[in-house]
Structures are given as C-alpha cells and as structure tokens.
C-alpha cells in the first residue's frame, strides 16, 4: 500500500502531462483549421470611377462570407457637394447578433453619386464610410476609405476604375 502511494504522485504527473499534450495537439489542429479573416479593405473592396463631369459610380465588392451594413454606408465628396444624397440599393434583412434587425449587402453593389456642380477636368476625392462583418461572428470597426478621381473633360466618356486596395500581385502569375 505504501508502494502504491509512492507511485501515485508520479502516475498523476504523467497522466496530467499526457492530458495536456492531447489538449495542446487538439487545439493546434483546431487552430490550423480555422479560417483566417480578410483585411477589411479586401473583405469590402471599394472602387470608384467617374462616368462624366457630374457623376461618379462607387462600387463595393463584398467577399463571400462577409456582409456590409446598409445603414452604416455613407458617401461624400471632397471638395464639393453632392447634388442629392446617394440612392442606395435595397439590401436584404438580417437578424444581426450585434445590431438586431438590419439591412445588409452581400456580393456587389454600385451607387451613383451626383456632384452638385459640373467639374470637368478636376480631381475630387470620394469618401466612403462603412462597416461590415464576417459570417464567423466578427465585426470590423467602421472604415473610412478615400479615392481621388480625375473627372473627365466634357464629352470624353467615362474614366478608369480606381481601386482603394489594388489586387495583390503574385510572384507566380
């Protein structure tokens, strides 16, 4: 009996060590399988393009597994003023764990922004304030993104699309 007691502390240490090793391996495997979150500028890719001297088209490409709150999306111009508040497209209703019943966007959206006064050949900055979340239950803090655009001269046609976060270049392409 005394010999059993003498071995019991050693056996307890070995058992606890084995349990700790199993837990560490299990957590390591689970951690390796959990998906990584995208950077906000990748999850909610913002771009804009001047259509003419009075109109700018603003776009968001929202990554799969992410959504953008409609009521958190605000668009403005610097310098200058908007002719009217932008008309945002309808979203889909969602019961959100953070904000309750809200309207959200997934996929792609485009919004036309009208300048109060024509400004052909000048540069304006489109400012987008937005907030979104990942379906994994992680919400990003509000984001402010700005893009400078050169408005085309009268009759020149649309200008190029400008991305806030251009696509990453791969060494293998």
> What confidence tens digit (pLDDT) does each residue in 76-124 have?
988 878 889 999 999 999 998 878 899 999 999 999 999 888 778 889 9
* pLDDT band of 34, cuts 50, 70, 90: low
> How much is the mean pLDDT over the chain?
80
Classified as helix, coil or strand, 64 is coil
* pLDDT band of 13, cuts 50, 70, 90: very low
Is 53 in the same domain as 131? yes
Is 150 in the same domain as 76? yes
* 53 is a domain residue: yes
* 168 is a domain residue: no
* 172 is a domain residue: no
What's the CATH code of the domain at 68? 2.60.40.1250
* 89 is a domain residue: yes
Q: What is the pTM for the complete model shown?
A: 0.73
* 173 is a domain residue: no
Here the tokens at position 145 are 């993104």
Is 112 in the same domain as 151? yes
* 147 is a domain residue: yes
**Structural domain harbouring 21:** 1-34
Distance CA 42, CA 126 (A): 18
Is 62 in the same domain as 120? yes
């Amino acid at each position: 009996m005394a010999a059993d007691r003498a071995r019991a502390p050693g056996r307890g240490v070995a058992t606890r060590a084995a349990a700790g090793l199993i837990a560490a391996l299990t957590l390591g495997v689970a951690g390796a399988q959990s998906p990584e979150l995208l950077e906000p500028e990748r999850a909610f890719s913002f771009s804009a393009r001047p259509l003419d001297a009075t109109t700018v088209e603003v776009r968001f490409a929202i990554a799969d597994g992410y959504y953008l709150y409609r009521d958190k999306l605000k668009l403005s111009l610097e310098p200058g003023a908007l002719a009217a508040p932008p008309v945002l497209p309808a979203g889909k209703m969602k019961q959100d764990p953070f904000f309750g019943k809200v309207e959200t966007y997934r996929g792609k959206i485009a919004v036309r922004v009208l300048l109060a006064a024509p400004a052909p050949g000048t540069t304006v900055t489109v400012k987008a304030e937005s907030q979104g979340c990942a379906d994994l239950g992680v919400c990003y803090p509000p984001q402010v993104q700005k893009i400078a655009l050169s408005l085309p001269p009268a009759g020149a046609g649309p200008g190029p699309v400008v991305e806030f976060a251009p696509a990453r270049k791969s060494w293998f392409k």
